[in-house]
């Protein structure tokens, strides 16, 4: 019987999760690769199932064939019923153990998966779980040079029925008891060989029986992660199958799985589904259930660029499978974290249908541990830092660290092992600084005698945890060579550097010390690998340089100072935030702003200076007096005009001072109390001071009063009253004006 394309997608979901992530968190695989798996799928073909249940099982097997697997993973698919007579076999090896290194390898499993069928009575259509489990464990025991994790998926209704199988005994009751005993023994073997069993029930499944299978095998593939404990699931419809298979496969591989996004795709329409790949993911798979193989799928990264389905782009590697089927997946190595867009396009002839997208991911992480003092003494308080890195660098998003656990312990000669309390301000071991680094302090016991060891561990859902040791020795009180590193936290751009200071105490002769970086990315280097250590106390400076090609990240780790024999004699933490380089346009804008600020400041200074000069030169408080002879009352008076500038002019006509704009006498302020006068020919006269008139070329005298210098009001105090003028006939003296008088 041939399965329809609309159902084939279900089993591909299981394989997608399995191929992306490593199945054990006890020790991490190298950060560049996820750990491969060996998967055996047991598919119930018995007559106790309905035809629609078997179709779902076939579809699930197709999902495995079409999903993204680690290149070193292996998959086998077995159909099982019972052996009730001659020519019958309880187990059909539908797809023998097959590698899935290439797209062609994965898709070659499709034809064999379609051989799964609902058995008739003549083929043995009862349910022999015992034989199926024995065959699965036999495949798992085959030689394996990759140490693949072992996962069995059991798709069944969970009802054992071997009453007609003579190999188990003389009668139906005996036969079922014998098969149950065989299952119990096989489950014991599975637990011993660390084989996980994940049951998925169809139809009227016996949940209790399925729970027995789940609990009987290896139940701690990911340490203490509860979600990774094998559990039985019973599904009612196709949508449940999709999610259940994906979750089961993800949890079996200690993987993370994001929420599924679903929508309806109309005939001839295009829709976008948005999924998230967390920053902690080093490998991911986007599984798209499109149901009809004619639907086309395109993938766009968080920066909006369409990525290839085969090949490399932006330091990521891509490999798609299942494009010609109802389910396809895109496996991504080093995925760009963030919100991805999955675009589905339906041809006009395809009817409306539901579609979905799900991300399964794994974080293959590398932990690091460092001390502020690599050679502590007894009773010393030591700062301990534990961090993790992905392939692309350290993690800076606090949300990506949720659920991760950072733990450390100290042991050594002369004392019992002690935990190191790590956290953020003492808030607990699950808390970090928000940048993937947990820190804590511990005091070296007074009983410590020699070897000293610190061990840090990072674990959590979706990540392959890593255990990292740090070995050293207790410092002797009389150590002749000691050093400390002071390197302040800093924010720099690529190409920048941070200056540090090494404090050295050398009670022996002059020597040289080596510097090295520990758990610091290769984009960061030291300005010098060696420094001088003269006798006594000294300081040496060095620089931490960030390469021009470094990306935005948080750089942690330590600088260690090594003595002549290579032993650590001191050290300090590295805490540097590398921010993206400032764009050229922004630099130009800042430069322009700085220039404008300088110009504005210069303009203000010039304006203030100019105003001061104008105030100093302002002649408006000067009053000129004209005399026939010194000591006599003046005959005319002229006050300098307001706002006339630093110089004003006048002429003498009929014995009076008359303001003019033509060529005449010019008056301006000089240094101190001096007033400078220039005659109409341009010749400078002697300086004029208040109370000391000077002679003019025409024989008259010119005096000045200056209110700024303390002179009287309008010169009255200095020169007294004007000389009385003879009265005209029939005109009083007060009615005769004097030209130039009272010009204010």
Same domain, 150 and 213: yes
Same domain, 505 and 577: yes
Q: Which of 715, 714, 736, 717 is nearest to 725 (CA)?
A: 736
* More confident position, 288 or 228: 288
Contact in structure between 178 and 137 (CB atoms under 8 Å): no
Q: Which of 428, 382, 435 is nearest to 405 (CA)?
A: 428
Q: What is the pLDDT of residues 183-234, one digit of tens each?
A: 999 999 999 999 999 998 876 788 888 999 999 999 888 766 667 789 998 8
Same domain, 40 and 162: yes
Contact in structure between 690 and 682 (CB atoms under 8 Å): no
pLDDT, residue 434, reads 52
Residue 119 lies in a domain: yes
* More confident position, 27 or 225: 225
In degrees and rounded to multiples of 5, residue 72 shows phi and psi of: -95, 5
Q: What is the CATH number of the domain that holds 16?
A: 3.40.50.410
In degrees and rounded to multiples of 5, residue 293 shows phi and psi of: -65, -15
Residue 345, Cβ density class (10 Å: 0-12 exposed, 13-18 middle, ≥19 buried): middle
Same domain, 19 and 165: yes
Helix axes 129-140, 172-192, angle to 10 degrees: 20
pLDDT surpassing 60 at residue 738: no
* Domain ranges, residue 576: 478-581
Q: What is the DSSP string of 470-490?
A: EEEEPBPTT-SEEEEEE---E
Q: What is the pLDDT of residues 538-593, one digit of tens each?
A: 999 999 999 988 877 778 888 999 998 888 888 888 888 888 887 888 888 889 99
Angstrom distance (rounded) from CA 737 to CA 744: 15
Residue 680 lies in a domain: yes
Same domain, 72 and 210: yes
Same domain, 520 and 645: no
pLDDT, residue 511, reads 93
Read off the tokens for 33: 């690769």
pLDDT (mean) for 661-682? 89
pLDDT, residue 14, reads 44
Number of domains in the chain: 3
Same domain, 10 and 103: yes
Q: What is the DSSP letter of 557?
A: E
Polymer length in residues for the chain: 744
Same domain, 94 and 220: yes
* More confident position, 575 or 33: 575
Same domain, 68 and 214: yes
Residue 161 lies in a domain: yes
pLDDT (mean) for 286-293? 88
- Tell the residue number behind the tokens 């299981």, with chain if given: 14
- What residue ranges in 647-693 does DSSP mark as E strands? 647-653, 656-659, 665-669, 675-678
Same domain, 217 and 92: yes
Contact in structure between 295 and 350 (CB atoms under 8 Å): yes
Angstrom distance (rounded) from CA 48 to CA 164: 14
Same domain, 542 and 681: no
From the CA atom positions of the chain, what is the Rg in Å?
Answer: 47
Angstrom distance (rounded) from CA 492 to CA 572: 19
pLDDT, residue 129, reads 96
Same domain, 188 and 120: yes
Read off the tokens for 334: 């080093």
Q: What is the CATH number of the domain that holds 504?
A: 2.60.40.2030
* More confident position, 195 or 328: 195
Angstrom distance (rounded) from CA 398 to CA 435: 6
Q: Confirm whether pTM is higher than 0.85.
A: no
> Which letter, b or e, does each residue of 495-508 get, where b requires 16 or more Cβ atoms within 10 Å of its Cβ?
ebbbebebbbbbee
Rounded percentage of the chain residues whose pLDDT exceeds 70 = 84
Q: How far is CA 220 from the centre of its chain?
A: 31
Q: Which of 284, 18, 17, 282 is nearest to 150 (CA)?
A: 18
Q: What is the CATH number of the domain that holds 708?
A: 2.60.200
């Amino acid at each position: 019987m041939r399965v329809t394309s609309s159902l084939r997608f279900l089993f591909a979901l299981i394989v997608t999760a399995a191929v992306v992530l490593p199945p054990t968190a006890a020790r991490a695989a190298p950060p560049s690769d996820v750990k491969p798996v060996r998967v055996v799928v047991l598919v119930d073909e018995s007559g106790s199932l309905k035809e629609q249940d078997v179709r779902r099982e076939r579809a699930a097997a197709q999902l495995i064939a079409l999903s993204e697997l680690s290149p070193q993973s292996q998959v086998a698919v077995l159909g099982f019923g019972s052996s009730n007579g001659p020519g019958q076999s309880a187990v059909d090896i539908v797809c023998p153990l097959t590698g899935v290194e290439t797209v062609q390898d994965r898709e070659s499993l499709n034809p064999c998966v379609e051989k799964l069928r609902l058995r008739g009575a003549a083929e043995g259509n009862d349910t022999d779980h015992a034989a199926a489990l024995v065959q699965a464990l036999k495949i798992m025991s085959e030689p394996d040079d990759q140490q693949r994790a072992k996962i069995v998926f059991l798709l069944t209704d969970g009802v054992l029925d071997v009453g007609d199988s003579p190999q188990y005994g003389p009668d139906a009751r005996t036969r079922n008891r014998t098969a149950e005993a065989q299952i119990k023994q096989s489950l014991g073997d599975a637990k011993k060989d660390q084989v996980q069993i994940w049951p998925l029930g169809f139809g009227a499944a016996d949940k209790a029986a399925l729970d027995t299978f789940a609990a009987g095998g290896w139940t701690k593939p990911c340490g203490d992660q509860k979600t990774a404990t094998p559990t039985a699931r019973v599904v009612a419809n196709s949508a449940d199958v999709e999610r259940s298979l994906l979750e089961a496969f993800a949890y079996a591989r200690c993987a993370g799985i994001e929420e599924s996004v679903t929508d309806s795709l109309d005939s001839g329409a295009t829709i976008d589904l948005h999924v998230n790949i967390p920053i902690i993911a080093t490998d991911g798979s986007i599984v798209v259930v499109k149901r009809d193989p004619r639907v086309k799928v395109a993938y766009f990264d968080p920066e909006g660029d369409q990525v290839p389905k085969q090949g490399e782009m932006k330091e990521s590697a891509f490999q798609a499978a299942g494009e010609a089927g109802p389910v396809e997946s895109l496996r991504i190595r080093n995925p760009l974290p963030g919100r991805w867009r999955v675009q589905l396009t339906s041809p006009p002839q395809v009817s409306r249908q539901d579609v979905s997208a799900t991300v399964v991911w794994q974080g293959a992480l590398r932990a690091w541990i460092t001390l502020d003092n690599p050679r502590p003494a007894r009773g010393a308080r030591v700062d301990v830092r534990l961090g993790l890195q992905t392939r692309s660098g350290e993690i800076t998003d606090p949300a990506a660290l949720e659920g991760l656990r950072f733990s450390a312990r100290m042991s050594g000669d002369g004392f019992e092992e002690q935990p190191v309390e790590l956290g953020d301000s003492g808030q607990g071991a699950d808390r970090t600084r928000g940048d993937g680094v947990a820190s804590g302090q511990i005091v070296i016991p007074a009983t410590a005698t020699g070897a000293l060891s610190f061990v840090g561990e990072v674990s959590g859902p979706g990540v392959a945890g890593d255990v990292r040791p740090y070995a050293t020795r207790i410092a002797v009180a009389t150590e002749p060579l000691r050093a400390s590193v002071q390197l302040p936290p800093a924010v720099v751009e690529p190409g920048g550097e941070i200056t540090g200071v090494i404090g050295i105490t050398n009670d022996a002769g002059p020597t040289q010390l080596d510097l090295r970086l520990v758990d610091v990315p290769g984009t960061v280097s030291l300005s010098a690998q060696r420094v001088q250590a003269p006798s006594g106390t000294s300081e040496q400076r060095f620089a931490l340089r960030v390469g021009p090609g470094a990306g935005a990240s948080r750089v942690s780790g330590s600088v260690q100072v090594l003595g002549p024999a290579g032993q650590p004699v001191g050290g300090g933490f590295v805490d540097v935030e590398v921010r993206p380089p400032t764009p050229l346009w922004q630099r130009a804008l800042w430069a322009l702003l700085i220039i404008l600020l300088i110009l504005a400041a210069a303009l203000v200074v010039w304006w203030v200076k100019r105003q001061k000069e104008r105030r100093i030169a302002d002649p408006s408080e000067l009053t000129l007096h004209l005399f026939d002879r010194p000591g006599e009352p003046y005959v005319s008076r002229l006050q300098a005009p307001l706002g006339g500038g630093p110089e004003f002019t006048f002429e003498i006509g009929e014995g009076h001072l008359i303001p003019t704009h033509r060529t005449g006498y010019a008056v301006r302020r000089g240094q101190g109390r001096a007033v400078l006068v220039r005659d109409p020919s341009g010749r400078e006269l002697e300086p004029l001071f208040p109370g000391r008139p000077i002679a003019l070329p025409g024989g008259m005298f010119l005096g000045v009063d200056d209110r700024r210098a303390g002179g009287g009001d309008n010169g009255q105090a200095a020169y007294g009253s004007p000389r009385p003028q003879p009265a005209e006939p029939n005109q009083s003296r007060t009615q005769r004006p004097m030209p130039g008088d009272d010009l204010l």
